[in-house]
Amino acid sequence: MAANTEPQLTLRHDLRPGDLGGVTALHGALYAREFGFDQTFEAYVAEALAEFGRAPRPERHRLWIVEADGRIAGSLGIVGRDGGAAQLRWFLLDPTVRGRGLAQGLVGDALAFCRARGCSSVYLWTVHVLTAAARVYLSSGFRKTEVKPAADLWGQRLIEERYDLAL
């Protein structure tokens, strides 16, 4: 009988010391490896997560952490915005935990959080190379509402895309 090689997964949203840095590091390493993004992407993520961590507002904001055998292996955040909107951010999964329905489950949890808090809409910005994430957004009811011309971002030539969902 073969030993189970699947990592033990946990999902939590109670922030602990090291979480913001761990999510930042995962973004930096994963997007460099998979899409060739440079260190400016990691700095971009770090700035936004630092702002999130300095002003916790659990009634409007939440960061879900996926752990695999105790290490950070994914995340998804919601940041409450003015006018009843919420922004979905920091969505990624390490390749070792993909293919288990986690992506759809995380987005579903985030949307339920938004609905429970009375948000009227959720939006996100992404880039065109993140096609797997775009499939999750579309299957969750989001629609692409804006496309910006290609620009030099994070060491790559990227097209930014906005997705929106009315709740």
Tokens read off for 164: 């929106």
User: Which residues of the chain have a pLDDT value below 50?
Assistant: 1-2
pLDDT at residue 3, as a whole number: 54
CATH of domain 10-166: 3.40.630.30
pLDDT at residue 23, as a whole number: 98
pLDDT at residue 1, as a whole number: 45
Q: What is the model's pTM?
A: 0.93
Instruction: Indicate the domain borders of the chain.
Output: 10-166
Contact 49, 76 (CB under 8 A): no
Per residue in 50-59, pLDDT (tens digit) is 999 998 788 8
Burial class (CB in 10 A: 0-12, 13-18, 19+), 149: exposed
pLDDT at residue 7, as a whole number: 80
Q: How far apart are CA 106 and CA 65, in angstroms?
A: 10
* Type of residue at 96: T
